[in-house]
Chains A and B, each alone.
Chain A
Amino acid sequence: MINSYFNLSNIVIYRILMAKKIIVILITTFTLIANAHAGSDGELVLKKNEPSKIKDCSETFNKASFALNQGLDKIIFKPVSSVYRVLPSPIKTGVSNSLNNLSNVVTIPNNILQGEFALAAVNAGRFIINTTIGIVGLIDVATYLGFDEYVKEDYGQSLASYGVGPGCYLVLPVIGPTTARDTIASLTNFIGGDAWYNVTVKNDTHYFTDIDYYASRVTAGVDFRAKNFDSIENLEKNSLDFYASVKSLYLQDRQQRILNSQKIIETQDDSDWEEIETQ
């Protein structure tokens, strides 16, 4: 009787805490959205995501996380990726392809959220073909068939496309650089927005376990590190301020992903260049 009373009260406390968490998240999200002025045209999105304008509100915390992540990189990611990068190309391509294929389960709902219905259909077709004919995504059959180049989308990009500003720049332990908006948006993955998380961690499907999910996340980290191995080493060696370099590169990359553009004239403010006359 007493046990069941405690169990019941634990459940009640847990639910209250969860509800409180969700309310905090919702309030923060709506505050961010309220700041968005409902504007979502390209120029406004470009301005809001301008890297030099994004504030580093918790710099001390961020720098501590950055140092921790550098330590983890030296102990785990760098040694593992230095071995991974010398594996035969077909193995690396297969791993990279299957990770890309898996990311479709987040990209497709975000294509829909951004109103890109045709693209959502193309990516759904890509996912079905690559998962079946492409042997769980190891071979990118869809690209051979002439599908357009695959572009990943996430919930942060969808929020940004609605005009939600990035908020402060953050560096999270293990996860790395992000922004307040993208951190909040990424929680969607854990409340049903990521089908891969749902079938591995959230629900007991008997086919997958938690380990499958976490292994895929770690492999994605190693794959990224290996692909950028020389660039990261070079950047660290030649930077006056490595933390500031990583912040700038991350935010520039994020800006062009949000705008779905690599075109220089769309993502760069040229006014500063125009002032400099040397000829």
Chain B
Amino acid sequence: MMPLWLDLTIRVVAVVVGFLTLPLIVGQAEHKVMAHMQGRLGPMYAGGYHGWAQLVADGVKFVQKEDIAPRDADRRVFRLAPLVALFPYLLVLLAIPLGPNGLVAQPLDVGLFFVLAVLGVGVLAVLMSAWASANKYSLLGGLRGAAQLLGYELPLVLAAASVAMAAGTLSLPGIVEAWKPWWLLWQAPAAMIFFIAGLAEIRRPPFDMPIADSELVFGYMTEYTGLRFAFFLLAEYVGIVVIAALTTVLFLGGWHGPAADHLGWLWTLVKVFAVSFVIIWFRVTYPRLREDQLQRLCWLILVPLALAQLVLTAAVKIAM
């Protein structure tokens, strides 16, 4: 057995490395996939081969830029907001199991509860940046964001509760352990609801009403420059990874697949990237939902469906 401190260091470093590389891969994939879906080539220069280093170059650019806080801004809150947006996702990654036999940074008995609670912090970052920017666009974007995030939290949690009921545990590795292929059918509505609500939670198109660059400049991120803006962007891509990973773990069976004992981690990653691709695909395909359509979808469709799924899950659970 290795000493505790070494074990801890390895786990934290692994999570941080994943936290820094996975979003870059997803971001680069978004550049290229979106470009080709629109009949373009996307970045071609940075790094030499098909612009593979575009996001690295972007990062260097962001670091060089001046860090501006508006004169009327609430400086401390304004500066803190990007970190509040970014940090919860790091904590979520800690609890997501990569493979069987305890291949997880921090196995938690209440993993699902922890993950959903931490994800809810995101709304705080939106409100902080919106209010502290002292900007009309930021404020409007922030209020839209708050309404959206609070609303979609409900179907997200209900859908996750359904799968937790089915598995009989709140532990994420436990849920994957209990997962059976036929759950794909049984939990299909919950998976759809969770995925759609997750998209709204990370404010990805078609649910990017709080950002809405054609009407609100850039929503609550309007006043941000340089590294702080880069943090917000990074948070968006980590958000894709987190939502894709949670969908994978809860509904797509995580590490389950051929040779799961040895290649479990690979199966998880493959599924995460597949779901990330779908998230990018949705962004390219669908126009932005209007604010009222967005709320209607949440309260009149997703929430009742999620409740119906809960009833179904309970019924099947009792019958078995």
A binds B: no
Q: Which residues of A contact B (CB under 8 A)?
A: none
